[in-house]
Structure 1
Amino acid sequence: MAKVVMYTTATCPFCINAKRLLASKAVTDINEIRVDRIPAKRQEMMAKSGQRTVPQIWIGERHVGGFTELRALDKRGELDRLLTS
């Protein structure tokens, strides 16, 4: 299973949905980085992704984007392949 890193906040509904989608794919180990607890991590996230919003998701070395992009990968049948690569 590929390594998953996700920048999140506690109350973000898109973050919750992303975690649920990944859980449905048997992803149990997500390196969750809470930008609401550690503000410097938001700056790190923005520098890495060019985005300000959460979630920001990486699978392996690939920046997927947010929940909308994660769901689109799943609908196209690409998420499973990405998770197992």
Structure 2
Amino acid sequence: MAKRLLTQKGVSFEEIDVGGNPSLRAQMTSKANGHRTVPQIWIGDTHVGGCRELYQLDDKGELDALLAS
């Protein structure tokens, strides 16, 4: 779902599969303030959260500005 929204907005993104790599998962969890679910989404250095939070930003009209920054 997150990939679909970002693609619709014409945004390129990097997907990092942490599923089979405990070290990468630990890095993600640490960087995401303890959140362990995937996806965890960052726009630049800003941690958005998961897919729900990404869509909430879009619904509030705040996502485009964040993507443009």
TM-score by length of 2: 0.92
* Equivalent residues in 2 for 1:1-80, closer than 5 Å: 17-28=1-12, 30-49=13-32, 50-80=34-64
Q: Distance in 2 between matches of 1:73 and 1:62?
A: 13
Q: Which runs of 5+ in 2 are unaligned?
A: none
Amino acid paired to 1:43 = A
CA apart distance, 1:39: 2.4
Amino acid paired to 1:44 = Q
Determine what percentage of the aligned residue pairs are the same residue: 57
**Which structure is higher in strand share?**
1
TM-score by length of 1: 0.76
Amino acid paired to 1:47 = S
C-alpha RMSD of matched pairs (Å): 0.9
Q: Write out the 4+ residue segments of structure 1 that deviate beyond 3 Å after TM superposition.
A: none
